[in-house]
């Protein structure tokens, strides 16, 4: 037995109708099928906010076309970008944590845990990118893409180290 359905009749602008006509969703060809696909995506997005793992999984899905384009480019050209690989690994983790947030009825501890988890992932991204700066050329499409920006990062690191080693430094 098929699930019960509800008939809806809606009016949309010409601009929205043109958008819907041009929208491509796997297996959806009619306006009704496309609207059902959009509703399913909206439901998935709402459910993904329930926890960080679901949010990360959804973000990976959103990034799939980009990942596929990068994969094809790299297979076709024999080139590889460690920078893009690192970003595609860490950025969805950070964004997923933020999308899920501290929960529906958060307590102070939930905000502290969220901050700690985001800091952990963000600093892991920074560490991964810094590893690419060990040599003047990185395994990236443009080998000096990291080297061109690293001086200001190293300067900040020097300031931080100087501040930390300063005897007059007050504790936070």
How far is residue 97 from each of residues 43, 126, 135, measured CA to CA in Å?
19, 17, 32
The tens digit of pLDDT for each residue in 81-124 reads 999 999 999 999 999 999 999 988 999 999 999 999 999 999 99
Q: What is the DSSP letter of 169?
A: P
- Rounded to two decimals, the pTM is 0.73
pLDDT at 51: 83
Residue spans of the domains in the chain: they are: 27-142
| Burial state string for 42-74 with b = 16 or more CB within 10 A and e = fewer than 16 | eeeeeebeeebebbbebbeeeeeeeeeebeeee
Q: Does 16 score more than 70 pLDDT?
A: yes
Mean pLDDT of 36-63: 84
Rounded Cα gap, residues 150 and 156, in angstroms: 10
pLDDT above 70 (res 1):
no
Percent of the chain with pLDDT over 70: 95
- Mean pLDDT of all residues belonging to the chain: 90
- Percent over 90 (pLDDT), the chain: 61
The pLDDT of residue 43 is 84
pLDDT, tens digit, 9 for 90 and up, residues 116-151: 999 999 999 999 999 999 999 999 999 999 999 999
Torsion angle in degrees (nearest 10) through CA of 53, 59, 60, 62: 150
Distances (CA, A) of 75 to 59, 78, 79, 82: 23, 5, 7, 14
Closest Cα partner for 146 from 85, 82, 66, 78?
82
- Average pLDDT for residues 21-40, to the nearest whole number? 87
């Amino acid at each position: 037995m098929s699930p019960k359905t509800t008939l809806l009749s809606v009016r949309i602008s010409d601009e929205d109708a043109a958008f819907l006509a041009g929208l491509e969703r796997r297996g959806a060809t009619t306006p009704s099928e496309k609207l059902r696909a959009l509703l399913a995506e909206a439901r998935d997005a709402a459910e993904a906010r329930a926890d960080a793992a679901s949010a990360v999984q959804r973000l990976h899905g959103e990034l799939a076309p980009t990942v596929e384009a990068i994969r094809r480019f790299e297979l076709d050209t024999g080139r590889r970008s460690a920078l893009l690989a690192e970003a595609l690994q860490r950025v969805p983790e950070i964004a997923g944590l933020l999308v899920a947030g501290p929960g529906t009825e958060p307590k102070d501890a939930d905000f502290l845990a969220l901050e700690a988890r985001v800091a952990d992932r963000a600093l892991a991204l920074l560490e991964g990118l810094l590893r690419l700066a060990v040599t003047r050329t990185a395994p990236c499409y443009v080998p000096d893409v990291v080297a061109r920006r690293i001086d200001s990062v190293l300067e900040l690191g020097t300031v931080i180290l100087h501040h930390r080693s300063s005897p007059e430094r007050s504790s936070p």
